Amino acid sequence: MRPLRASLALAAGLLLALALPTGSLATLAEVGVLPTTTPETPVTPPSCPGSPCLAVSRTTGFQVKVGALHNPVSAPREGSIVAWTITLGKPTATQIKFFNANEGGEATAGIAILRAQRSPNLTYKLIAQSPLVKLEPYFGKTAQFPLASTIPVKKGDIVALTVPSWAPALALNFPNTTSWRASRPKAQCTSTSSQTTQTVVGSATQYYCLYRTARLTYSATLISTP
């Protein structure tokens, strides 16, 4: 389940050629992939196996800001998500044992499509989600997962990362201008003991908790609607 990005792009191109009428034009975009040419967007790997080895756990989250860039994981145009990509740290056997015992079992993740609601503030509706993937075979690598059923999105929809257990997909030591938000209530921003993932399609959840100086290391591939 770890195809190369080039293979996916080729498959997507063939699909477009078959599905679109002559003269139609669609574009391929990577949602959440940022330039690495400025001090605000350095190439920083996930923290594990370093110290501290921190992981995303029992929540749904998305990047709010990286430097001057706001909403880097929002869909820039209407289209379909055809794949998602995650870069994972390589925790040690001891670290894996600890997370498995304390964060709900083996590492898994998927993506979720969120749509902002007018009220209350910071509330998002779950529009769709991908199947979950077991992550341990990909520790220390960047893995891309094509979707058997593509997910339609509207411009402005948020592509979030859903982690019902844990995932070593958190890069640290960014400036305060970098932050991500999680689907945890106000009283649980410093705790991972409760399950807070948003998994019921159609549900609305307040993403109250904001975490600074860290980035979630995932992205998604979008084919725009021509």
For the chain, the residue count is 226
The two three-digit tokens of residue 124, written as one number: 């998002």
As a whole number, mean pLDDT of residues 195-224 equals: 96
Whether pLDDT at 44 is above 80: no
Q: Which residues have C-beta within 8 Å of that of residue 131, sequence separation ≥ 6?
A: 110, 148
Place of tokens 């995650």: 86
Sheet holding 28-31, edge to edge: 28-31, 218-224, 79-87, 142-153
pLDDT given at position 39: 54
Whether pLDDT at 125 is above 70: yes
As a whole number, mean pLDDT of residues 151-172 equals: 97
| Residue 1 to residue 183: CA distance in whole angstroms | 28
Other CB atoms within a 10 A radius of the CB of residue 155 amount to: 12
Give the model confidence (pLDDT) of 45-91 as tens digits: 899 999 999 999 999 999 999 988 899 999 999 999 999 999 999 99
Residues paired with residue 205 on neighbouring β-strands, in sequence order: 124
Q: Which of 87, 79, 61, 94 is nearest to 19 (CA)?
A: 79
As a whole number, mean pLDDT of residues 178-187 equals: 94
pTM of this prediction?
A: 0.85
pLDDT given at position 43: 60
Residues paired with residue 66 on neighbouring β-strands, in sequence order: 69
The two three-digit tokens of residue 54, written as one number: 């921190």
Q: Which of 214, 154, 217, 218 is nearest to 181 (CA)?
A: 214
27-36, 106-115, 177-186: range with lowest mean pLDDT: 27-36
